[in-house]
Amino acid sequence: MSRELNYGLAINEAIKQCMHTDPDVMLIGQGVESPWYVGNTCKDLIELFGRERVIDTPVSENAMTGAAVGAAIAGMKAIVVHPRVDFAMYALDPIINQASNWHYMSGGRSSVPVVFWLIVNRGGEQGAQHSQALHSIFAHIPGLKVIAPSSAYDAKGILTAAINDKNPVVFIDDRWLYSQIGEVPEIQYEIPIGKGKIVKTGKDVTLVSFSALLPKCLSVAKEMQVSHNIDIEVIDLISIKPYDKDIIINSVKKTGRLIIVDGSWSFNSITAEIATTVYNDTFGLLKKPITRLNLPDCPTPAASSLEDAYYINDQNIKDAILESVK
């Protein structure tokens, strides 16, 4: 049975069900009992599972992440929440130097089942130190999987898969999605890491995105079909690393056009990785050069008037589509 659930509560339900079914699952991080920090994603967890399994830590990103990695090596399944991805930079040593390498360096004899839950919290005049999407940093690292769902259904399913994964997964969450509503089954289920999804079929243009920009892309694609008779295929990556190359390449073979939308900077970005792969595999079939939509290559402004010009909006996506089919 399914019912409507918002994105934040879908995350909450995934964690609750995993903690109910597996006593080794634990949650550690900043503000896990504060709706100001984590919204409704950690609602009732301390009351249900106690402070031994749900640990609200002091503000020490490196220490809490190191504790989670150590607990995972010792046999727990750890979820460590960073309410601002920006300050997870303090924890790069346990994430990149330790967790990502542990399975390889132990010759496969030891694993680190930990989810690094990093929340993007941009906008609202918060400025450059609180508004960054840093998923490309983690996608660059061997040994780390990176996921970034865009819907309540996918958030519950792929977070469940990440918690049950034997090795480290970086869950890029986005606070802009917390009000999204969708049909979510009551039962526990998994969505496989590394598989994308066609959320709208089309024949003229392939539009690829993920996380908070995917709903915007889907809305624009539906509008453009009505207003301009452009039939746009929209692909939700869901997983950034590994990502579903086949679903993108097969779509581009059909449409001959590709637009990739990513709410981070363009240099060494997800759009660059996908564009390179598609050029290599479909170059002779492309009708137009690939379009990459990213943020301007500068720090995030604080003034709301500048934010309006800085972030990717509906008109940016529409202009890219029109240019692609011109």
Q: List per-block mean pLDDT (blocks of 10 residues) for the chain, which spans 326 residues.
A: 92 98 97 83 94 94 97 97 95 97 94 97 86 94 98 98 97 93 97 98 98 97 97 98 98 98 96 97 94 96 92 97 95
Closest CA to 232 of 210, 211, 208: 208
**pLDDT score recorded for residue 20:** 97
The model carries a pTM of 0.96
Q: How many residues does the chain have?
A: 326
**Long-range CB contacts (within 8 A, 24+) of 52-60:** 53/19, 53/25, 53/26, 53/27, 54/26, 54/27, 54/28, 55/26, 55/27, 55/28, 55/29, 56/29, 56/30, 56/31, 56/32, 57/28, 57/29, 57/30, 58/30, 59/30
Where in the chain are all domains bearing CATH 3.40.50.920? 197-325
**Range 197-325 has CATH code 3.40.50.920:** yes
Where in the chain are all domains bearing CATH 3.40.50.970? 2-185
Sheet of 25-29, strand order = 54-56, 25-29, 77-82, 114-120, 169-174, 145-147, 239-241
Hey, what are 83's tokens?
A: 């309410």
- Classified as helix, coil or strand, 230 is coil
Class of 2-185 per CATH? alpha beta
DSSP assignment letter at 193: T
**pLDDT score recorded for residue 139:** 97
Burial of 63 (0-12, 13-18, 19+ CB in 10 A): middle
Closest CA to 3 of 182, 191, 179: 182
- Cα angle value 168/135/13 (rounded, 5°): 60
- Classified as helix, coil or strand, 55 is strand
Strands (E), the chain: 2-6, 25-29, 54-56, 77-82, 114-120, 145-147, 169-174, 181-185, 197-200, 205-209, 232-236, 239-241, 258-265, 291-295
DSSP assignment letter at 289: P
**pLDDT score recorded for residue 179:** 87
DSSP assignment letter at 123: -
Looking only at the bridges linking them, the beta strands covering 2-6 and 181-185 are: antiparallel
Instruction: Confirm if 193 and 201 have CB atoms less than 8 A apart.
Output: no
Cβ neighbours of residue 294 closer than 8 Å, sequence gap 6 or more = 262, 263, 264, 265, 266, 269, 271, 312
